[in-house]
Amino acid sequence: MYSIRQEQIREYIEHNNVVTIKELQKMFPDVSLMTIHRDLDALEKDGAVIKFRGGAKSVRHTGDVEFNVRMRENLMGKQDITRKALALLQPHTSVFLDASTTNLALARALPDMNLNIFTTGPSIALELCRLHNPVVTLCCGTINRNNLAISGQNTLEMLEKINIDTAFIGVSGCSVEAGFTCGTESDMLVKRLVIQKARKSVLVCGHDKFTCLMPYTFATLADVDYVVSDGQVPEAFAEAAARENVTIL
């Protein structure tokens, strides 16, 4: 039988899908951090929640929202991000686009430039086929039917062999504390490796992502060069970015 506090935690996680330990501490300021962890351990043992480093998620929360749903969200914001991101492209360079819906919008707006483009998004690769000048390479691997992203060991081995000038990486959630997050471990491994390989890392992040948290952190502000958003970012995030010499567009 759950305690009243544990039941409140369970209901809060069920309602919000993903929460941080800090959120739960604010809910129960008179309770120690160790007690919060014990509550989560008890809930996880009973199959009510799933713990991860720094937080917990609902057992019904399996990762990112379906691709087609996300593609219809924040359309004006995606256009604004695309306009800013295009200014960072240079001809005769190697570019990586992950399978985010914002990068699909970027692919749709991309001019016919001489580029070597690598992508883990089948939809992005097909969109780029309308152009004549870019050389387009679709990374090998296993496709996730939910987010239409390719990942897996074969993907990682292929990415190890290529050089990337500029990488555009989609974000499912971000904060100063948790960094940049995504919904699946396999996507986290791909994004993390690409950021390590790229000379310049560009995180494309809609304003709505600053209120979201996903289970897997793939980067912090110290790992990236640019954050491209469609509106004013939270003040605390902007201050942290300035400390790490990250440019916000």
pLDDT in tens, 5-22: 888 888 888 887 778 788
CATH number of 4-58: 1.10.10
Token pair listed for 43: 């809930």
Distance CA 182, CA 184 (A): 6
The pLDDT of residue 116 is 97
The pLDDT of residue 74 is 58
In 66-177, DSSP assigns E strands to: 93-97, 115-119, 135-138, 142-144, 149-151, 164-170, 173-175
Helix axes of 75-86 and 101-109: crossing angle, nearest 10 degrees: 60
Task: Tell me the domain boundaries of the chain.
Answer: 4-58, 67-248
Which one, of 42, 106, 111, 36, lies nearest residue 77 by Cα?
106
Where b means 16+ CB within 10 Å and e means fewer, 71-87 reads beebeebbebbbebbee
Phi/psi class of residue 12: alpha, beta or left (left: φ > 0; alpha: ψ in -120 to 50)? Answer: alpha
The pLDDT of residue 65 is 47
The pLDDT of residue 204 is 95
Those residues of the chain that have pLDDT short of 50 are 1, 65, 69, 71
The pLDDT of residue 75 is 64
**DSSP letter assigned to residue 140:** P
If you classify domain 67-248 with CATH, what class do you get? alpha beta
Listed in sequence order, the residues at least 6 apart from 81 whose beta carbon sits closer than 8 Å to its beta carbon are 102, 105, 106, 204, 205, 206, 228, 229, 230
Distance CA 36, CA 16 (A): 17
